[in-house]
Structure 1
Amino acid sequence: MPSLFEPIEMGSIYAKNRVFMSPMTRAKATPEHVPTPIMVEYYTQRATAGLIISEATGISREGLGCPYAPGLWTQEQVEAWKPVTAAVHAKGGKIVAQLWHMGRVMHSSVTGMQPVSSSATKAPEPLHTYNGKQDPEVARPLTKEDIARIVNDYGNAARNALEAGFDGVQIHAANGYLIDQFLRDSANHRSDDYGGSPENRIRILREVTEAVIAAIGADKTSVRLSPNGDSQGCIDSHPEQVFIPAAKLLNDLKIAFLELRELGPDGTFGKSDQPKLHGPIRKVFTKPLVLNQDYTREEAIETVATGVADAIAFGRPFIANPDLVHRLEDNLPLNKDNIQTWYSRGPEGYIDYPFAR
């Protein structure tokens, strides 16, 4: 039986164990979205993860409305990421960049532009800005020309990621952000080639993935989906009709791995009564499958051992436990994270959590 603590190959990426660090926004970049030196220490501390999936990283000014989040569209950003990836590699770790376009989940005061989406909708909750939370704005529906431009932005960001030293990229198609706003019928009200049928709603995911593969290769490309439940106002009435074909498409494109964030009825942040889809997705996606969301040590070990998934991505446990792999392997107690410092600007709650040894 496979073990959570044994290596796995995913395309060109060799992970030394199957405890992955999932993407988590920590807001430590500059207002110009340039990574800062403190991020080197943060990621290096966690390099024992089989694979680090970076915090969500903007593909363009238009697509990044999160204060102090990093980007990958300028040369200055590329250069600032290089010390991070070099330090992770020096510790024997692997790291991929999660590529992000937030769509409607952003405010014009951050980007200087009206938010965009599949349709003229708006995010359901107030949005973070440099001046506190502000009410969401109605998004401008993307034209076909806009979509083509954004697809190209993903390809450029993927090339920039490799120049910055990343081992690959993950396309963020989950959690209610732009691609998810196309995938799910609660947000996509279009009647053209990008709306209506599941096949049409999947189209932008296919085009983005093909553009990234053309830029850096399928062996360095992965995707994150959130197939069930509500994510920032995005939910689908029949998710199995959308996400199983989407997974089959990604399998046919031979991406390196697929990560699923799946909500359960008792989730810590988000709950859903919609069934999890990793079972039927596993039947059509034969490449490595990574699962995420509230896994305990025992659940993670069993899920990998029984072949339900090939790896487990942990989020919040990695905040407070830079040595999470060691703690899980030796069944040691976990540090508790402090939610008040998740997005604070200094080292507290970022690089000062203790190691077990």
Structure 2
Amino acid sequence: MPSLFSSHQLGGLTLPNRTVMAPMSRVRAAAGGLATPAMAVYYAQRASAGLIVSEGVQPSLVGQSNPGTPGLHTDEQRDSWRQVTDAVHVNGGRIFAQLMHGGRVSHPDTTGFQPVGPSAVPGEGSVFTPNGPRPMPVPRALATDEVPEHARSYADAARRAVDAGFDGVELHGANGYLISQFLSSNANLRDDRYGGSVANRVRFAVEAATATVEAVGAARTGIRLSPGGGGIWGVWENDAVELNTALLAELARLDLAYVHVTATADDDVLLRLREAWPGTLIVNPAVPGGPRPAGPADADRWLGLGADLISFGRAFLANPDLVERLRTGLPIAPVDTETFYQGGDAGYITYPAYRHAVA
């Protein structure tokens, strides 16, 4: 069994350890979706991770889910990210950009557009807007000839990401966002080639991944999935094993850098997907919205079950030196949930590394 602290080859990258900083929205971008100097500090502080996956980055304006999130659909946004990637690389790290099209998880108050989705089925719950939380509106169902344009938006953003210095990109196919909506058995009610059968429902994800591989290469392309859907934003997959094994079979032909799965399904489902996926598998063991972040015992368990890399979310927020804390058995500091999305530096770049007591 590999150690959490052994190296791993990921495409053209040699990761010095098997910890991955999971993508987490922090809504600290500047106006126009620009990355900021504080974001460069935030990611550089955590560069000891084997791999960092950035917060969700919208590949188009209509794909923006929340206010305050960064983009990669303009040249100005691309240029703003160079300070971030440079800072991570100077500190010895590696970073992928997560490309996240919100689909129906959006609001006109944020983007100026009616959200789009596979079908005219609204998401469940409220979404953040510049005017406070608002119920998600009914999205506009994409016409068949519009769908490829949204698949290509991931590839266009991937080109800008690589130009900005990112080592690669992760397509956000999880957590109820656009790719996840197309995979879903309840958000996708289409009767064209993008809906109905499993083969049709995986088509959008495969087209987005194919376009991205053609744009930046397979070694620079990963995808995140939430098997079963988990009910996040109201998305479910009632045929999780059949659906995800069919998707992985298609993605395997592309030789993606990795697949990143969340614990939204039972272990037996995730183990079936481990068997089905021939490449690098990242597992995030924490249940989304669960009572505690993933810890070292979770990591060891999943490495023993066949995962190649383990992603940590909340633990990385309050512990910029998380890898060293895990390596030496130091306490894991708790995170202040009140500062997740409030903006500013507090609870963002103010968490210290572990301070050893003076004897």
Q: What TM-score comes out, normalization by structure 1 length?
A: 0.95
Please state how far the C-alpha of 1:126 moved relative to its aligned partner: 1.3
The within-5 A match list for 1:269-288 is 277-288=269-280
Residues 339 and 137 (structure 1), Cα distance of their counterparts in 2 relative to 1, 3 Å cut: same
Tell me what 1:133 maps to: 133
Please state how far the C-alpha of 1:277 moved relative to its aligned partner: 2.0
Tell me what 1:43 maps to: 43
Letter in 2 for 1:280: R
Q: Distance in 2 between matches of 1:13 and 1:130?
A: 39
Q: Distance in 2 between matches of 1:67 and 1:125?
A: 17
* SS, match of residue 280 in structure 1: helix
State percent identity of aligned pairs.
41
Q: Is the 8 A contact 1:119 1:187 kept in 2?
A: yes
Tell me what 2:297 maps to: 298
Q: Deviations over 1:33-68 (max 9, x none)?
A: 111111010000000000000000000001013110
* SS, match of residue 291 in structure 1: strand
* SS, match of residue 244 in structure 1: helix
Tell me what 2:163 maps to: 163
* SS, match of residue 206 in structure 2: helix
The within-5 A match list for 1:233-312 is 233-263=234-264, 277-294=269-286, 295-304=294-303, 306-312=304-310
Letter in 1 for 2:306: V
Tell me what 1:320 maps to: 318
Q: What TM-score comes out, normalization by structure 2 length?
A: 0.94
* SS, match of residue 130 in structure 1: coil
Q: Distance in 2 between matches of 1:176 and 1:324?
A: 28
Q: Distance in 2 between matches of 1:184 and 1:29?
A: 30
Q: Structure 2: where are the runs of 5+ without partners?
A: 287-293
* SS, match of residue 89 in structure 1: helix
Q: Distance in 2 between matches of 1:67 and 1:45?
A: 24
Q: Is the 8 A contact 2:285 2:302 kept in 1?
A: no
Q: Distance in 2 between matches of 1:34 and 1:341?
A: 20
Please state how far the C-alpha of 1:344 moved relative to its aligned partner: 1.5
Q: Is the 8 A contact 2:16 2:50 kept in 1?
A: yes
Q: Deviations over 1:165-222 (max 9, x none)?
A: 0000000000000011010111110000000000000000110000000000001100
Q: Distance in 1 between matches of 2:279 and 2:163?
A: 26
Q: Distance in 2 between matches of 1:165 and 1:130?
A: 30
* SS, match of residue 332 in structure 2: coil
Aligned length: 347
Q: Deviations over 1:274-303 (max 9, x none)?
A: 565221111121101000032321120232
Residues 275 and 238 (structure 1), Cα distance of their counterparts in 2 relative to 1, 3 Å cut: farther
Please state how far the C-alpha of 1:253 moved relative to its aligned partner: 1.2
Tell me what 1:59 maps to: 59
The within-5 A match list for 1:110-149 is 110-149=110-149
Letter in 1 for 2:259: L
Tell me what 2:214 maps to: 214
Q: Distance in 1 between matches of 2:124 and 2:170?
A: 26
CA RMSD of aligned residues (A): 1.1
Q: Distance in 2 between matches of 1:138 and 1:81?
A: 33
The within-5 A match list for 1:45-124 is 45-124=45-124
User: 4+ residue stretches of structure 1 with deviation over 4 A?
Assistant: none
Please state how far the C-alpha of 1:163 moved relative to its aligned partner: 0.3
Tell me what 1:268 maps to: none
* SS, match of residue 233 in structure 2: coil
Q: Distance in 1 between matches of 2:305 and 2:45?
A: 29
* SS, match of residue 98 in structure 2: strand
Q: Is the 8 A contact 2:58 2:64 kept in 1?
A: yes
Q: Is the 8 A contact 1:227 1:276 kept in 2?
A: no
Q: Is the 8 A contact 1:13 1:220 kept in 2?
A: no
Letter in 1 for 2:312: F
* SS, match of residue 232 in structure 1: helix
Letter in 2 for 1:283: E
Q: Deviations over 1:214-270 (max 9, x none)?
A: 000001100000002222100011211111111222122100011001136xxxxxx
* SS, match of residue 350 in structure 2: coil
Tell me what 1:270 maps to: none
Tell me what 1:178 maps to: 178
Q: Distance in 2 between matches of 1:87 and 1:32?
A: 21
Please state how far the C-alpha of 1:134 moved relative to its aligned partner: 1.1
Q: Distance in 1 between matches of 2:93 and 2:32?
A: 28
Q: Distance in 2 between matches of 1:182 and 1:213?
A: 20
* SS, match of residue 20 in structure 1: strand
Letter in 1 for 2:235: C
Q: Is the 8 A contact 1:99 1:157 kept in 2?
A: yes
Please state how far the C-alpha of 1:146 moved relative to its aligned partner: 1.6
Q: Structure 1: where are the runs of 5+ without partners?
A: 265-273
Q: Deviations over 1:101-147 (max 9, x none)?
A: 00000001111000000000111111100110112110001112221
